Amino acid sequence: MQTQTKLKKDQGLKKEYEVIVSAAKFAARKKVELENYAKTAKIQGFRPGKVPVSYIEKRHGNSVNAQVIDNLIKESAEDLFKKENLRPCLEPNIKPEKYEEGKDFKYTMEFEIFPEVPEYDYSKLKITKPVSDVAKKDIEEGLERISGANMAHEPVTGRTKAQKGDTAKFDFLGKKGGVPFEGGKAEGFMLELGSGQFIPGFEEQMIGLEIGKEKTFPIKFPKEYHSKDLAGADVEFTIKIHELHEKKKPKLDDEFAKNFGMESYAKLEEAVEKQIRSDFDAVSFTKAKKALFDEIDSKVKFNVPEGMIKLDHDSIIRQMKAESPDSKDADLEKEANKLAERRVRLGIILSDLGKKNSINVTNDEIRQSLWQKAQMYPGQEQRVIEYYQKNPNAIEQIRDLSTIHHAKLFSR
């Protein structure tokens, strides 16, 4: 006997195996590891490659045993998966027994496998993809948004008093109890009136003030202000406006278009129309995909791995709590479980369809999807990436669940 496997638990998708590696096989692998170690070890008192194996075993036997155990677990697990035609959906839970020199090495391995997807005639599903035409009004609104985002600031003419929306260049000095406080002074500060950048009530005091005139007014800092010395404090500010600027929309012409690398305004209109059409198509695709997923979810039923549901559930819960912090945990848990099971089942179905239809996703596309997946676990991004990189079955799941994979599949 070299390696023996025994099925200890077979509960649907859950499997547990006991794996026994013979003492003879362990000893042979250890001998090779020790010899390789001796060839490369640099130990004072010995020439390179001349360190006795017995010396290495005495000094580093435990670390060599650990390396042999790690290698044997990986190899025997892969052999078992191939022999039994098993596809673990997540990293197996390995429980090695304490190794005793000269005896068989044993470990147990628990894991869940991907389920078999029931046969279904997907050609029966009839989904209509919504089509939206780009109207002239849509293009005009798009151009207006571009114009609004690229307004120039020009000196105010025809008036000297500040208005809401103006950008004022001014000096200010704040005092608490008649004494200037830290951070309460600036000269030539630029502020858009009405932006809410300063404490409540400050910008309102500036409206109506003339250029060159000085004004002093009392004001109270908010109780929740970040500085403890100023939180809730009554203070006094003196301000003086030097310049006023207002936003002016640029003229929509060929010169404006050149700012965006377009040779003419007509070309800019075409680019805007193309972008709007792309946005409409994306929304249309998302709606059609959801409708298709709803149909598949209602027609194709099978059990899915609990471990995959748990993994997706945790991600969904985090997102739900961030979006709805006041919602009851019980309600969120129920909805998250339902959504996680649906997503996992649909992912397995799409993976199966992708393989049957020879859908290929490039490595660059996988990396993009992997990073998006990792960002769902704030603070653990690197761990998530390393997990998928070390597990071929898991990285295949990323390949099958990517938006790119969906688009390629749906185009068939």
- Report pLDDT digits (tens) over 21-53: 999 999 999 888 888 877 777 777 776 766 777
Helices (H), 41-172: 53-84, 136-149
Q: What is the pLDDT of residues 235-278, one digit of tens each?
A: 999 999 999 999 888 888 998 889 888 899 999 999 999 999 98
Mean pLDDT of all residues in 334-344: 90
Buried b (16+ CB within 10 A) or exposed e, 58-75: eebeeebbeebbeebbee
- Structure confidence at residue 396 as a pLDDT band (50, 70, 90): low
Which pLDDT belongs to residue 241? 97
- Beta bridge partner(s), residue 192: 167
CATH class of residue range 152-248: alpha beta
Buried b (16+ CB within 10 A) or exposed e, 142-154: bbeebeeeeeeee
Mean pLDDT of all residues in 164-182: 95
Which pLDDT belongs to residue 399? 53
Mean pLDDT of all residues in 124-137: 83
The residue with greater pLDDT, 379 or 366, is 366
Domain layout of the chain by residue ranges: 3-112, 152-248, 256-410
Which pLDDT belongs to residue 51? 72
Choosing among 1.10.3470, 1.10.260, 3.30.70, 1.10.3120, the CATH entry for 256-410 is 1.10.3120
Which pLDDT belongs to residue 392? 62
- How much of the chain exceeds pLDDT 90, in percent? 47
The residue with greater pLDDT, 401 or 357, is 357
Which pLDDT belongs to residue 161? 96
Mean pLDDT of all residues in 338-348: 91
Highest averaged pLDDT of the listed ranges 106-115, 121-130, 247-256, 323-332: 106-115
Return the H-helix or E-strand segment holding 220: strand 214-220
The answer to whether 221 and 233 have CB atoms below 8 angstroms apart is yes
CATH of domain 3-112: 3.30.70.1050
Predicted confidence (pLDDT) at residue 412 exceeds the cutoff of 60: no
Nearest residue to 406 via CA among 363, 367, 364, 369: 369
Q: What is the pLDDT of residues 62-114, one digit of tens each?
A: 888 999 999 999 999 999 999 999 999 888 999 999 999 899 999 999 999 99
pTM exceeding 0.75: no
The edge-to-edge listing of strands for the beta sheet with 93-96 is 3-11, 14-21, 105-112, 93-96
Cα–Cα distance measured from residue 394 to residue 80, given in angstroms and rounded to the nearest whole number: 18
Phi/psi at 16 (5° precision):
-140, 125
Per-chain mean pLDDT for the chain = 86
The two tokens of residue 19 are 């794996």
The answer to whether 3 and 21 have CB atoms below 8 angstroms apart is yes
The residue with greater pLDDT, 320 or 16, is 16
Same fold, 152-248 and 256-410: no
Helix-helix angle 329-356:265-299, to 10 degrees: 100
Which pLDDT belongs to residue 240? 97
Which pLDDT belongs to residue 405? 58
Which pLDDT belongs to residue 128? 78
Predicted confidence (pLDDT) at residue 218 exceeds the cutoff of 60: yes
Q: Which of 105-119, 195-209, 323-337, 385-399 is the least confident region?
A: 385-399
Mean pLDDT of all residues in 332-349: 89
